Amino acid sequence: MILQFEEKKIEVKEEYVKTVTSKSTGNELNTYRFKIRVAGKEKFEDFKNKMNMYKEKFISQIDDNGNILAKYNVGTWSYRYYNEFDSEDTNYLCDVEIIQGEELKTDIIIIEGIENEVLKYKEEFDNYNKAIVIRAIIKNTEEQREKINNAIGDNKYFKVKRPGINNEILEMRFGKTIWSKHEGYIKRSIVLVEKKYDENDKLKKPFFWPELTNMMDIMAKNTVYIEKLEETLKKNNMITDENIKEIKIQVEKEYKNVYRQYYLVEDVEEDFE
């Protein structure tokens, strides 16, 4: 097996460990281990930094012509050493495990049959809750956002597809969503959480639950209520029970437009990691 660490290529004798099925794509992903000797403390420090870096970044497996065959992350690794005279004579014998990875990318997320252009995308499998969690920035018009909201309605969960990753339909819900206004469109930083996440009996409620959520609902409704009350008083110079009933109906229809303002930022891409 030939591995490419940035500009450096090394050939290792790999030992097969196991194969697992990707929760995101359904692809078979292999795990291997290999041994490598590093001579000298300075080179070992550089090697150690690379091992930590490649826990997040991909190492490429290549063929003799430099074509990429697969990509891996470093899993666990360990070392032992022996010293003859000084630190530069120290030999480090390292055991490294590498886990085959995937670049999960899509240009479109389909929510309840409505396509959304993807600007940035991250997906991970939450091993504790056994569920897929997506973080993405999507580009919408205000009309597209309303179309999505109308399609979802009062349902907590909705259907999501990720073309290019997996054609499977996932049942998901929104997590925290923030958004920003731009010329002719909006950007939304969304979190999509698979339904399985909520089915974990050990799942804890978030901090400040339920008071913060309830408070935000009440504040948003009151804002709309006051605005509609003012309009009615100005128009009729009086207020009746029927007026109040009508206002409350309008509040229920429109308070979510005010609710969204709590999540409005300058540009959602600035804080996307």
Q: Which residues pair with 138 in a beta bridge?
A: 118, 188
Q: Note the pLDDT tens digit of each residue in 58-116.
A: 999 999 999 999 999 999 999 998 876 666 678 999 999 999 999 999 999 999 999 99
Q: What is the mean pLDDT of residues 255-262?
A: 87
Q: What is the CATH number of domain 108-198?
A: 2.40.30.200
Give the DSSP per-residue string, 105-141: --SEEEETTEEEEEEEEEEEEETTTTEEEEEEEEEE-
The burial class, CB within 10 Å (0-12 / 13-18 / 19+), for 4 is middle
Q: Which residues pair with 174 in a beta bridge?
A: 192
Q: State the helix-helix crossing angle for 241-259 and 211-236, rounded to 10 degrees.
A: 130
Q: From CA 14, how far away is CA 55, in angstroms rounded? A: 18
Write down the pLDDT at residue 221. 93
Q: 0.85 cut: is pTM over it? A: no
The burial class, CB within 10 Å (0-12 / 13-18 / 19+), for 188 is buried
In this structure, are strands 28-39 and 91-100 parallel, antiparallel, or unpaired? antiparallel
230 band by pLDDT with thresholds 50, 70 and 90: confident
* Model confidence at 210: pLDDT above 80: no
Q: From CA 1, how far away is CA 11, in angstroms rounded? A: 6
Among 174, 185, 123, 179, which Cα is nearest to 149's? Answer: 174
Higher pLDDT pick, 234 / 86: 234
Contacts of 221 (CB under 8 A, 6+ apart): 251, 252, 255
Q: Phi/psi class of residue 115: alpha, beta or left (left: φ > 0; alpha: ψ in -120 to 50)?
A: beta
Task: Please state, in angstroms and as integers, the Cα–Cα distance from residue 35 to each residue in 74, 79, 99, following that order.
Answer: 13, 9, 15
Position 153, amino acid: G
* Model confidence at 255: pLDDT above 80: yes
Q: From CA 272, how far away is CA 189, in angstroms rounded? A: 8
Q: From CA 152, how far away is CA 111, in angstroms rounded? A: 9
Q: What is the mean pLDDT of residues 126-150?
A: 94
The burial class, CB within 10 Å (0-12 / 13-18 / 19+), for 116 is buried
Q: Return the residue matching tokens 């690379």.
A: 50
